Structure 1
């Protein structure tokens, strides 16, 4: 009987410890988790900070969003010729590039070359950022 009580006590103690460690992990704020995950990605995207040029006066200016922390950016861009196709958007580093949202939906800014932009005027460029075919920005 004493062995059974000891075994039961040990089992309860172990299950209680396991439950507490699971709760501690789930109590971690999402911002801490996402910051840790974006940490390696922002090293690549930090190199994109600055001005990028598109065609016909289109541009992209990337700056760090310091209050939000590493891996967060502000993207000021003219992405079309219409008057409402300009704005500043919040972005976050991912393994693929910088994710952001604007009026035409969620977007991904990724590294590419002139060919990836799909625009003949940028075809010879090697250092570009592409949102989608027909929208890209390059550096000389």
Structure 2
């Protein structure tokens, strides 16, 4: 009887461990929420808050999105991203493992960290602290 109880307890324990690992492997939500999973992402991107300067008057201002329900890791990106007047606006962004994902009229973009060389613009080559949208569009700090 004692051996049966021990075997049954061991089987239940193994079964419980297998259930937890299957849940994690399948990507099914566990006890954590998406906010908890994105916390490391927004801790990195929170350091990007403030003004970033591009070339010829282009700029990027990053602020936290304080609207109801936005939560950590949500940002407002105010940008002048081209020389034409219609190439500006404020866009909602969300922290990801790679940077801040956002969408504007010209498509979906990922704002990521880099240096002046990664911007692809000769005017920013010497800069070390930059954010890049795409080659030819970057913003740096001194």
TM range (shorter): 0.7 to 0.9
TM-score of the two chains, using structure 2 as the length reference: 0.75
Partner SS for 2:82: coil
Structure 2 unaligned segments of length 5 or more: list them: 1-18
Residue equivalent to 1:34: 34
Alignment RMSD (CA, Å)? 1.8
Q: CA deviation at 1:110?
A: 0.1
Alignment of 1:95-134 (within 5 A): 95-134=97-136
Q: CA deviation at 1:34?
A: 2.7
Q: How many residues align?
A: 114
Partner SS for 2:33: helix
Query: Matches of 1:27 and 1:70 in 2, distance apart?
Result: 19
Q: CA deviation at 1:37?
A: 2.1
Higher Cα Rg, which structure: 1
Query: Matches of 2:110 and 2:38 in 1, distance apart?
Result: 15
Per-residue deviation, residues 103-138 of structure 1 (Å, max 9, x unmatched): 000000000000000000000000000000000000
Partner SS for 2:102: strand
Call closer, same or farther: CA 1:27–1:130 in 2, change over 3 Å.
Answer: closer
Per-residue deviation, residues 7-49 of structure 1 (Å, max 9, x unmatched): xxxxxxxxxxx9xxx9xxx799xxx833222111000000000
TM-score of the two chains, using structure 1 as the length reference: 0.76
Query: Matches of 1:27 and 1:40 in 2, distance apart?
Result: 18
Partner SS for 2:40: helix
Query: Matches of 2:79 and 2:29 in 1, distance apart?
Result: 38
Higher helix share: 1
Call closer, same or farther: CA 1:49–1:27 in 2, change over 3 Å.
Answer: closer
